[in-house]
Copies of this chain bind each other. A is one copy, B any other.
Amino acid sequence: MTQHHSTRTTASQRQAARARPVVPRGPRRGLGVGELRLDGGFWGALQETNARATLQHCLDWMEQLGWIGNFDRVAEGTTGGGRPGWQFSDSEVYKLLEALAWEHGRTGDPAVDALLRKVVDRVAAAQDEDGYLNTCFGHAGQAGRYSDLSTGHELYCTGHLLQAAVARVRTTGTPGGTDEDLLVEVARRAADHVCREFGADGRGGDGRDGICGHPEIELGLAELGRALDEPRYTEQARLFVERRGHGTLAPIALLSPAYFQDDVPVRDADVWRGHAVRALYLAAGAVDVAVDTQDAGLRAAVERQWARSVERRTYLTGGMGSRHQDEGFGDDWELPPDRAYCETCAGVASVMVSWRLLLATGDVRYADLIERTLYNVVATSPRTDGRAFFYANPLQQREPGADVRPDAVNPRAEGGVRAPWFDVSCCPTNVARTLASWQAYAAFVEEPPEGLSDGAREAVSDGGVVVSLAQYAAGELRVALDRSSAGSAPDGELVLRVTTEYPHDGRIRVEVTAVPERPVTLRLRVPHWADGATLTGPDGSTTAVRPGWVTAGAAGTDAAGTDAGVSAALAVGDVVTLDLPVDPRLTWPDPRVDAVRGTAAVERGPLVLALESVDLPDGVQLDQVRLDAGVAPRAQGDGAVVRAVTVPLLEGGAGTPPFGSGGPGSAFAPTPDAGAPAFDLTLVPYHRWAERGPSTMRVFVPTARHEETR
């Protein structure tokens, strides 16, 4: 660790700086959580609240509900009788452990480490001799191990245990070394058990040729295999991926095999379908397997699924899941705003998939979707105080949500009010682990693959490296470019100071304060919505840049998202400034999205905005408002001000279905109120709606026909 320029480096920051990045078997690696220190800002504030409030909040709820106590009961052999929590409650404990691991890795806070170790001790005590670890099955008074693969969630829980261990490996040091952690040891034993039970020889021997109803084990095994350099785990992940899609899971009443993606093999599917979180966890695991086994066909399948699903089954917010019935994707273009499920966990999972595809391909579109989803799904879920959450994230609220009691366990998908905890409470811990590891998504480092003659790599000459900023936040990026993954000697760090108020402001200033010996090229992402962006280089010249990756210090832009092909080695003192236009803009739905025909939304930079009833003038109902699309919205805070008019609505009492005859001016095709003046209306960022008491809300606002408002 050399060449630190910052004088504010503390001991804990130095520890955090050791937090290791994800190193897939590809040319790109994500950032380690210790490699970027945020200076407040949008994500810094969320991360602070997560650290200060959410982690303990989750721990307290799970202690109170007995979900952690379930491990004690297994350890004590007292599992008979009732067991609190759903069959998958262990996974919430593991996701919290993962969040704690990232949090400790990010800050080096010994209190967080101690908290984690206490929970790990209780978890470890519940592990059976042979590595099996589950509090719902396999012990006295419980159903037998793996007796219900369709709904039992045992492997799902194990997958989350392995992901927690991966976070620990990435943040505490060399796997297998003397500092091996108890959590990592527990995970290793659990993974070994899974390989024995479900391995390839299971097809003819003692093992089980099965898969889990809820994908996740694929992901956990692949990540752990990579983190511990254990090909058996990768192979087991591959087996699970390949086994799915052949209709082997016992059906769940009233749900089709598509619900758990057991209808079509992963490599044959064209689009995501069924339960969104399951589909996305599976896709993430499939990318890991594809990358680590160099399976181009499998990778291409997931890319194809991503493209069609994003184009036709994804909300403006990045949210996924159009149906409550199965928490699932709908048909193409089926994107109702009011019944949008957009589960918070599906947002988290979508980021996980896109991040893997970003590292696998470098394609900027994946970073664009990550940004959209982080700001408008992940950041929407937690209440400002970090102690209540949205489970579903609809884009329209027709009736104000009911008040939530702070001490209540709530139904999971009620809209309109954030709740402290849910009966199925997957979202709070998913938010926690995502916020604690936000740094991972912020940038990636591209090494030229050694020994390969790849045209796209040629530009990175002489052992050079490309650092790409994918997400923007003020802070200090301190990337170890010591070739550890290639086994070479250290040659120093790149240190970048990012100054910005993004997304409030579109200016991102990057100053180079240290460089390694190797030449480094810096790329910045120009989001797809940023028409009119400019880049000011180290020489002070300002150039228009198009959406895509733009190489700092050169004018090159590559909208296709592949490498810019221009090497421009950074030097200490270099400053580049990217200016993104974040003026509010109108956004229109594709005409095939029937549910929002005749409406427009307003976005501001990466933020989707919303019209909330608490911002309406007295006497105006949300249903009456028509947006005057002929008047450009203007910025106000992080939201916008738009011009609006009202239309009259039919009074109740007709006693017939709400359909009838009538041309313009009738109750069924109302024109704006004659003589009623147009008025200004404030829209707020969608991610902060429902913070001012129960309200109704809509992202897509019906538009008045232009000629009617002039």
Residues in chain A within 8 A of chain B (CB atoms): 253-254, 256, 306-308, 310-312, 314-316, 318, 323-325, 330-339, 365, 368-369, 372, 396, 398-399, 411-413, 423-424, 528-529, 585-599, 601, 623, 647, 649-650, 652-662, 666-670, 702, 705
B587 near A660: Cβ-Cβ < 8 Å: yes
Asked whether A332 and B398 contact (CB < 8 A) given A308-B652, A585-B661, the answer is yes
The answer for the CA separation of A661 and B670 in the assembled complex, in Å, is 26
From B399, B655, B658, contact of A590 by CB (8 A): B658
**What chain B residues lie within 8 Å of A333 (beta carbons)?**
398, 623, 658
**What chain B residues lie within 8 Å of A649 (beta carbons)?**
590-592
The answer for the CA separation of A456 and B680 in the assembled complex, in Å, is 54
From B595, B623, B657, B667, contact of A318 by CB (8 A): B657
A328 shortest CB reach to chain B, Å: 10
A319 to B, closest residue via Cβ: B657
B254 near A655: Cβ-Cβ < 8 Å: no
The answer for the CA separation of A372 and B655 in the assembled complex, in Å, is 13
The answer for the CA separation of A596 and B657 in the assembled complex, in Å, is 14
A430 shortest CB reach to chain B, Å: 18
**What chain B residues lie within 8 Å of A339 (beta carbons)?**
323, 330, 334, 336, 339
Complex copy number for this chain: 2
From B315, B423, B596, B655, contact of A365 by CB (8 A): B655
A314 near B593: Cβ-Cβ < 8 Å: no
Asked whether A311 and B659 contact (CB < 8 A) given A339-B336, A623-B591, the answer is no
A652 near B311: Cβ-Cβ < 8 Å: yes
The majority secondary structure among interface residues of chain A is loop
The answer for the CA separation of A599 and B592 in the assembled complex, in Å, is 13
Q: Which of A310, A339, A585, A667 has the largest count of B CB atoms less than 10 A from its CB?
A: A339
The answer for the CA separation of A659 and B590 in the assembled complex, in Å, is 6
**What chain B residues lie within 8 Å of A412 (beta carbons)?**
254
A626 to B, closest residue via Cβ: B591
B334 near A658: Cβ-Cβ < 8 Å: no
A160 shortest CB reach to chain B, Å: 21
B595 near A336: Cβ-Cβ < 8 Å: yes
The answer for the CA separation of A323 and B337 in the assembled complex, in Å, is 14
A315 to B, closest residue via Cβ: B657
B702 near A311: Cβ-Cβ < 8 Å: no
B591 near A594: Cβ-Cβ < 8 Å: no
**What chain B residues lie within 8 Å of A308 (beta carbons)?**
652
**What chain B residues lie within 8 Å of A590 (beta carbons)?**
649-650, 658-660, 667-668
**What chain B residues lie within 8 Å of A597 (beta carbons)?**
597-599, 702
**What chain B residues lie within 8 Å of A669 (beta carbons)?**
588, 591
Q: Which of A411, A598, A599 has the largest count of B CB atoms less than 10 A from its CB?
A: A598
A310 near B588: Cβ-Cβ < 8 Å: no
A653 shortest CB reach to chain B, Å: 7
Asked whether A310 and B592 contact (CB < 8 A) given A334-B398, A411-B254, A411-B256, the answer is no
A700 to B, closest residue via Cβ: B594
The answer for the CA separation of A632 and B315 in the assembled complex, in Å, is 36
The answer for the CA separation of A424 and B372 in the assembled complex, in Å, is 41
List 10 A–B pairs whose Cβ atoms lie within 8 Å, in order of A's numbering. Answer: A253-B423, A254-B423, A256-B411, A325-B325, A365-B655, A365-B656, A369-B656, A590-B650, A590-B660, A593-B658
A95 shortest CB reach to chain B, Å: 21
B659 near A589: Cβ-Cβ < 8 Å: yes
Known contacts A254-B411, A592-B649, A705-B705; 20 further A-B pairs (Cβ under 8 A): A307-B653, A310-B655, A310-B657, A311-B654, A311-B657, A311-B658, A323-B325, A331-B338, A331-B399, A333-B398, A334-B339, A365-B656, A369-B657, A585-B661, A588-B660, A588-B661, A591-B623, A593-B659, A594-B702, A601-B659
A656 near B368: Cβ-Cβ < 8 Å: yes
A594 near B334: Cβ-Cβ < 8 Å: no
From B314, B337, B398, B423, contact of A657 by CB (8 A): B314
A693 shortest CB reach to chain B, Å: 19
A656 near B594: Cβ-Cβ < 8 Å: no
**What chain B residues lie within 8 Å of A256 (beta carbons)?**
411
The answer for the CA separation of A560 and B233 in the assembled complex, in Å, is 75
A395 shortest CB reach to chain B, Å: 11
**What chain B residues lie within 8 Å of A307 (beta carbons)?**
652-653, 655
A310 near B656: Cβ-Cβ < 8 Å: yes
Rank and list the top 10 A-B pairs by shortest CB-CB distance, nearest first: A588-B668, A590-B658, A598-B598, A324-B325, A597-B598, A331-B398, A314-B657, A365-B655, A325-B325, A316-B659
